[in-house]
Amino acid sequence: MGKDHDFYTRFLFGLGNIRSCAYGRDKQLEYDKSFSPVFQNLVEMNIVKKKCVALISKHREAVEKGEDGKYHGNQIDVNEPIEDEMNIFFKDFFIRGEMAIGSLIAHSRYMGSNIGFLFTDDEKKFRKGLAKFVLSENDERFKGLDAFMKHNRTTWYEPFNDLRNKIEHEGWHLPNLQYTLDSNNKVQVRLPTSPNQTIEEILESYWQSMSMFCEEVIVFLLSLKLKQNMIIVFIPEEKRDKNLPVRYIVSHKDFPGVLLQCG
């Protein structure tokens, strides 16, 4: 059914069911209001990602078919350049992503477990946030969360945020497309890349990292709200329902892996 289906299933059904076990009915609408901006910004990230990828694909196909980027005389004419629109989508992807992180931190505050201090390298700010956190520094659950946050910050979030800062504060933009001739005088379009990734791969990689990160953090924070007889169970990919491929469910501690239906 595709990645979009999996995303909506994980966030609406998976997280929704865990929320129902962690919060009573009288608090669920309030919770949903706090959660909504996280989900909405992730949805918008995905929308602009797909628009950017589709724009590139359409232009590349037009050049390959000779419908655009036509060579005559000593020049190559591009009648429908895509640089401006491509930059809008690319930049908006990073801005929406940082908005998702901001919304995630706000959501954690609503849940009584402000994770904002885990995004800083300032020791004083870290200690101040830790002193107010729901778990102590020596709690194994906190150690796991801290390690998870440090790993994600190092592997993808810090470079993501660095580029977002350059976009917003330094006027950064993608390099222009290049048009060249091959040995048969056929026009080829060359899109900007990082050392090892195309634009499409960059967007997809960051999208997967961001959506997984938000999901994992919310699952962890919800787990802190569950009753003592409830546990979170991870469902391996090969065992997930193909129609509702959620990654996490709540189970009674005596029946792990069996979905617990909560009101």
Q: Which of these, 203, 176, 215, 207, lies nearest to 192 by C-alpha position?
A: 176
Under the phi-then-psi rule, with left for phi > 0, alpha for psi from -120 to 50, and beta for the rest, what region is 66? left
Residues in the chain: 263
Strand pairing class (230-234; 187-190): unpaired
Q: Please give the structure tokens belonging to residue 116.
A: 């904002």
- Distance (Å, whole) CA 55 – CA 129: 43
Provide the 3-class DSSP secondary structure of residue 250.
Answer: strand
The sign of the CA dihedral 114, 35, 152, 95 is negative
- Contact assessment for residue 5 and residue 36, using Cβ atoms and an 8 Å cutoff: no
pLDDT for position 50: 97
Provide the 3-class DSSP secondary structure of residue 75.
Answer: strand
- Distance (Å, whole) CA 148 – CA 134: 17
Angle between helices 199-223 and 83-110 (to 10 degrees): 10
Task: Return per-residue pLDDT of the chain as tens, 263 residues.
Answer: 567 889 999 999 999 999 999 999 999 999 999 999 999 999 999 999 999 999 999 999 988 888 887 888 788 888 899 999 999 999 999 999 999 999 999 999 999 999 999 999 999 999 999 999 999 999 999 999 999 999 999 999 999 999 999 999 999 999 888 888 887 778 888 887 777 889 999 999 999 999 999 999 999 999 999 999 999 999 999 999 988 999 999 999 999 999 998 86
pLDDT for position 2: 60
Cα 203 vs. chain centroid, distance in angstroms?
10
pLDDT for position 1: 52
Q: Give the number of C-alpha atoms closer than 13 A to the C-alpha of residue 40, restricted to the C-beta side.
A: 10
CA-atom Rg of the chain in angstroms: 22
- Distance (Å, whole) CA 262 – CA 256: 15
Digit-coded pLDDT (tens) for 130-186: 999 999 999 999 999 999 999 999 999 999 999 999 999 999 999 888 888 887 778
